[in-house]
Amino acid sequence: MTTPLRPTPEQLAAAKDALVPDVSAPGLRVLFCGINPGLWSGATGRHFARPGNRFWPALHRSGFTPRLLRPDEQRELLALGLGITNVVARTTAKADELTPEEYRQGGAALVERVGRLRPQVLAVLGIGAYRTAFGRPGTKVGRQSDGIGDTEVWVLPNPSGLNAHYTLDRIAAEFRSLREALPTA
């Protein structure tokens, strides 16, 4: 078993504004979309890498993955028809360092990416990010009435450990609602 990379404070500081490559391919079942990568992800090159982030446990508990994957196993998602991208590409210590303009530009870039990759579902993980990026202030968690082309859009809770509004069980339940709504392959 591989030990996950634990960045030093210097590596974390150096990761500010770094880019973490998407885990994506055309025709995925679900393209999960984070707000933006944190410093831990920037330092390791892995999505949702910070200990305490609940993405990987929620993905497993909801039934999307047959076992709990680690961030260093993120490429295994592709074989399951899953991928990861972000609204805003640059890494920051906290999402509140992003400007509304960055969200709007990220939303436009995301629409282009979804049009090119054509996943069945885009799942945006963060209601505030979705509201700002797409100019939809009244959005609620769940399936959205507007898609992007043929791609259905869902908004799910942000799995960051900083999101005190949702427990891991509640996040997993929202992920499960999406999984159960997918057409069977």
Give how far Cα 4 sits from Cα of 14, 44, 46, 81, 87, Å: 19, 9, 10, 24, 25
Tens digits of residue pLDDT in 142-159: 999 999 999 999 999 999
Distances (CA, A) of 148 to 39, 145, 172: 30, 10, 24
pLDDT single digits (tens) 82-133: 999 999 999 999 888 999 999 999 999 999 999 999 999 999 999 999 999 9
Q: Which residues lie below 8 Å from residue 133, measured CB to CB, with a gap of 6+?
A: 87, 103, 104, 106, 107, 110, 124
| pLDDT grade for 185, boundaries at 50, 70 and 90 | low
162 confidence band (pLDDT: 50, 70, 90): confident
The arrangement of secondary structure in 16-181, i.e. its CATH architecture, is 3-Layer(aba) Sandwich (3.40)
Position 100 scores a pLDDT of 96
> DSSP letter at 41?
H
| pLDDT at residue 183 in the model | 80
Q: Is the pLDDT of residue 46 over 60?
A: yes
Please, what is the end-to-end C-alpha distance for the chain in angstroms? 31
pLDDT at 3 > cutoff 90: no
Q: Which amino acid is at 56?
A: W
Domains of the chain, by residue range, sit at 16-181
Residue 1 pLDDT greater than 50, yes or no = no
pLDDT in tens, 19-40: 999 999 999 999 999 999 999 9
**47-84 per-position pLDDT tens digit:** 999 998 999 999 999 999 999 999 999 999 999 999 99
pLDDT band with cut points at 50, 70 and 90 for residue 5: confident
